[in-house]
Amino acid sequence: MAITNINNTNNAQQETPFMAEAVYAVENMDAGHTEEKQHKIKNLLDQLFPLTKGTHQEVTNYLLDYHHLVVFFKDGSCSGLRNPGKFVAFTGHRSSPDTILLKDNSGSHVEIIFGHHEPGKNTLVTIDDIEMETCTTFSQDFSLAAMRHWISLLKRDETSHPKARKEDKEYTAKNGDDYQLACCFSL
């Protein structure tokens, strides 16, 4: 237990400055540079949610084994997250999830949305989008409430700005229970 806390503290110090730079780099890319976007978005994942070995750049499949996120590489080897506790939930099937929900050291959620991928094929995983959670807090009748927003790093609105929206989201927690994130909640 103490080892996990030490690792979380070290990662918090390492990820904070890079996260802002990486998010900015992804958000400012031209929509037509798909390959470059994949590289930068996977680089962001490598910084925020590093693997015990290898890199998100080389992953051919993400799957869930019991309560753990496992990734596979072209050579057949596998790895997991350096900090397995950062994986919290998913949608889809355990052997081929549609989305994976991770939680960073600040407690904010990051949703990885996968593109069409056929498990068993030896091709790199395509990430369709990454959505990051942001919260706006406001006080109402002496109680503190918050509104959860999701900011897309790859999708744009009609004015070419990153898409932001509020919505309730439902997942399956890594232990099989429901994992719900409402757009409005009390603190």
Give Cα 92 distance to the centre of its chain. Answer: 15
- Phi/psi zone of residue 176: left (φ > 0), alpha (ψ -120 to 50 degrees), beta? left
149, amino acid identity: H
Backbone angles phi, psi at 157, to 5 degrees: -85, -175
What's the pTM?
Answer: 0.78
Q: What are the pLDDT tens digits along the chain (187 aa)?
A: 233 333 334 444 444 444 455 555 555 555 556 788 888 889 889 999 999 999 999 999 999 998 999 999 999 999 999 999 999 999 999 998 999 999 988 888 999 999 866 655 678 888 998 998 887 766 666 566 778 888 888 777 777 777 778 889 999 999 999 999 988 766 5
User: In this structure, is the dihedral angle defined by the CA atoms of residues 30, 32, 112 and 4, taken in order, positive or negative?
Assistant: negative
List strand residue ranges (DSSP E) for 49-140, in order: 59-65, 68-73, 78-80, 87-93, 96-103, 109-114, 127-140
